[in-house]
Chain A
């Protein structure tokens, strides 16, 4: 068990290293650099001044040297300073933003799991009935609609037209903090974030449940006089969840991509928004720091998924 953990952490660290290298190369390949984005075109700088600034920021050093310098500092927990906001450290920026993102993603994932699993089970039990057809068609729609469409459409319908929810932000500006206010701001983006994943989970859940409901042990449970609800909720569900668990674990990474988009649309002050603005302004240290944190989250989630198999299925032993 400990050995397994150590191995997983080691391979996770390796993946992170590869990720940072990849991101480093990609950012340097994109045209433009932080100075272009930083300079005010109305206050022209001489070439000497630009060069001095470049030297000061270390951007004139050879790329491998820049990367190794960053890596050495990162290993010591120092992710450097933002190139665009000189008084802010990358760690500080991320610390402010990671909370709202975790809240949004956590809610989105929770909603998609609850919604996906329950509708999946329901449609499997009511197979080939009108509710099954209706929900399956809705799910297909949910899977096939790209995030930008559902997000904008949801924003337009629910907050612009129907005025059910505020159109963006974390809290009402200027108002005193209240959980209710936060919830109102959270609900719509979290729901929209969950749609695609909920639809995917539902389809997997339905297929898996249909297969399990045909298993001999389900018939055995009925022959024992177990209530039909218990047959489904206890005997079938736990077995049917296994393949769905894999799906949930592997799509959480995808959900992060969706979260970045939703944050942009709803002006949600999270990691996604930070990352997007950092990319726009070529703020290299912020890009590197944010991807490092997001990547670590994905790796941790994957390890947790593997561990959860062992909880659900006694045939799987971790280690």
Chain B
């Protein structure tokens, strides 16, 4: 790829106002997603992965969240690269839904109950390209077929409550894709679904991304899903990226104690009964994540880290390059690697 990446986030900081204080929900975020590539953003609840994704769209809760620093460079369909944090509301609106599509976690509640799904899929087309009602609806019906829903013409006339969870998620995917965006942001799109449906939706997203050569930012807390869908991964902890790199390398040889802990606490299929017999419990990371309102000094992970030493508690470690295309925010990464 000689052209600029679709998305390049530099030094992003998003603050939330709590009372009179502004508290950083995410800080110092650097991410790059080239066209056709999927980056997975993983982390536990409250780590800031969704805030990062919504900062790109500038869809933070009004009056509460705001982007405080950094840039979000986005290269649109016209090849122009712009900083999304600097756009006015009108220009930003024309990016949403047209250049960047977004799929949300809750298919049950993210569709409007009083409009037919056909209308809801057609809406971005009508908003952005001024398509006529019937033309937009025709495109919507075609897309409903392509996201794997049988009898699309009939389904388009139905309301969300008449569809199953999996089908609704397919509808929200169609809605995000109807304007052919160059970037798809998927915010935990499979979390609320049954395991079998999860696999289908992942497969669908992978297929559509390949066909359309879209870039994708995939937010999840499920490491298994990361391995399925992404080429690169960024692990977040307490509002910062702690490790990033190609998925296979990070999973094979993690360089941050938090990533190691996450990987160790994954249950393995078929080992449950063996572990029970041996009296072994599934390993977990001790403690809980620090609240963003009350961050420890130094490395945020230090209080829960088995490797933590005194220098860790002095200042936040930089995101150091640990190999080609790989970075980790740990001053002791060499010892961990050994």
Chain A interface secondary structure, helix, strand, loop or mixed? helix
Q: Do the beta carbons of A315 and B110 come within 8 Å of each other? A: no
CB-CB < 8 A to A227: which residues of B? 93, 127
- Report Cα–Cα, A313/B115, bound state, in Å: 9
Give the docked Cα–Cα distance between A132 and B237 (Å).
39
CB <8 Å contact, A239 and B124: no
Q: In the complex, which residue of chain B has the Cβ closest to the Cβ of A236?
A: B112
Provide a sorted-by-A list of 20 A–B residue pairs whose CB atoms are within 8 angstroms.
Answer: A215-B109, A219-B110, A220-B104, A220-B110, A220-B111, A220-B112, A221-B123, A223-B59, A223-B104, A224-B96, A224-B124, A224-B127, A225-B128, A226-B93, A226-B123, A230-B127, A239-B113, A314-B113, A315-B113, A315-B159
**B residues within 8 Å of A by Cβ?**
57, 59, 89, 93-98, 102, 104, 106, 109-116, 123-124, 127-128, 159, 161, 172, 175-176
B127: chain A residues within 8 A (beta carbon): 224-227, 230
A223: which of B96, B115, B116, B161 is its contact (CB, 8 Å)? Answer: B96
Q: Which residue of B lies closest to A239 (CB)?
A: B114
Selected from A222, A230, A315, the residue in CB contact (under 8 A) with B59 is: A222
Residues in A with CB closer than 8 Å to B123 are: 221, 224, 226
List B contacts of A219 (CB < 8 A): 59, 104, 110
Closest partner residue, chain B, to A217 (CB atom): B112
Bound Cα distance from A220 to B96, whole angstroms: 10
Cross-chain contact of B109 among A216, A226, A230, A235 (Cβ < 8 A): A216
Contact between A223 and B106 (Cβ–Cβ < 8 Å)? no
Chain A nearest CB from B176 CB (Å) reads 8
Q: Is the CB of A313 within 8 A of B59?
A: no
Q: Are A225 and B95 in contact (CB under 8 A)?
A: yes
Q: Is A312 part of the binding interface, using a Cβ–Cβ cutoff of 8 Å?
A: yes
CB distance from B249 to the nearest CB of A (A): 33
Please report the C-alpha to C-alpha distance between residue A270 and residue B93 in the assembled complex, in whole angstroms: 53
Task: Contact check, B104 vs A225: say whether CB atoms are below 8 A apart.
Answer: no
A225 surroundings in chain B (CB, below 8 A) = 93-98, 124, 127-128
A165 to B172, CA, bound (A): 56
CA distance A239 to B113 in the complex (A): 8
CB-contact partner of B175 in A224, A238, A239, A315, under 8 A: A224
- In the bound complex, do residue B159 and residue A216 qualify as a contact, i.e. CB atoms below 8 Å apart? no
Distance, CA A111 to CA B95, complexed state (A): 40
Min Cβ gap B311→A in Å is 42
Residues of B within 8 A of A222 (CB): 59, 96
Q: What's the Cα separation between A314 and B95 when bound, in Å?
A: 31
Tally of A interface residues using CB under 8 Å: 21
Partner of B111, one of A217, A312, A313: A217
Which B residues are in CB contact (< 8 Å) with A313? 113-114
Q: Specify which chain A residues have a CB less than 8 angstroms from the CB of B124 in the assembled complex.
A: 224-225
Instruction: Among B57, B95, B98, B110, find the residue whose CB has the most chain A CB atoms closer than 10 A.
Output: B110
CA distance in complex: A226, B98 (Å): 10
Contact of B110 among A216, A228, A238, A314 (CB under 8 A): A216
- Residues in A with CB closer than 8 Å to B159 are 314-315
A221-B112 in contact (CB<8A): yes
The residue of chain A having its C-beta at the shortest distance from the C-beta of B107 within the complex is: A216
Residues of B within 8 A of A315 (CB): 113, 159, 161
Contact B114 A223 (CB under 8 A): no
Given contacts A216-B104, A216-B106, A315-B161, contact A223 B97 (CB under 8 A): yes
| Contact indicator A223/B102 (Cβ below 8 Å) | yes
What 0/1 readout, one digit per residue, does chain A (285-319) give for beta carbons within 8 Å of chain B?
00000000000000000000000000011110000
Closest to A127 in B: B63
Min CB gap B121→A, angstroms: 10
Min CB distance, A316 to chain B, in Å? 10
Question: Which single residue of chain B is at the shortest CB-CB distance from A312?
Answer: B114
Q: Besides the contacts A225-B95, A315-B113, what 16 more A-B pairs have beta carbons closer than 8 Å? A: A216-B110, A217-B111, A217-B112, A217-B113, A219-B59, A220-B102, A220-B104, A223-B104, A224-B97, A225-B94, A225-B98, A225-B128, A226-B127, A228-B89, A239-B114, A314-B159
Bound-state CA distance A217–B102 (Å) is 12
Say how far B148's CB is from chain A's closest CB, in angstroms.
Answer: 20
* Beta-carbon contact of A220 and B114 below 8 Å: no
Q: For B115, what are the chain A residues with a Cβ–Cβ distance below 8 Å?
A: 235
Min CB distance, A3 to chain B, in Å?
23
A residues within 8 A CB of B114? 238-239, 312-314
Q: In the complex, how many angstroms separate the beta carbon of A198 from the nearest chain B beta carbon?
A: 25
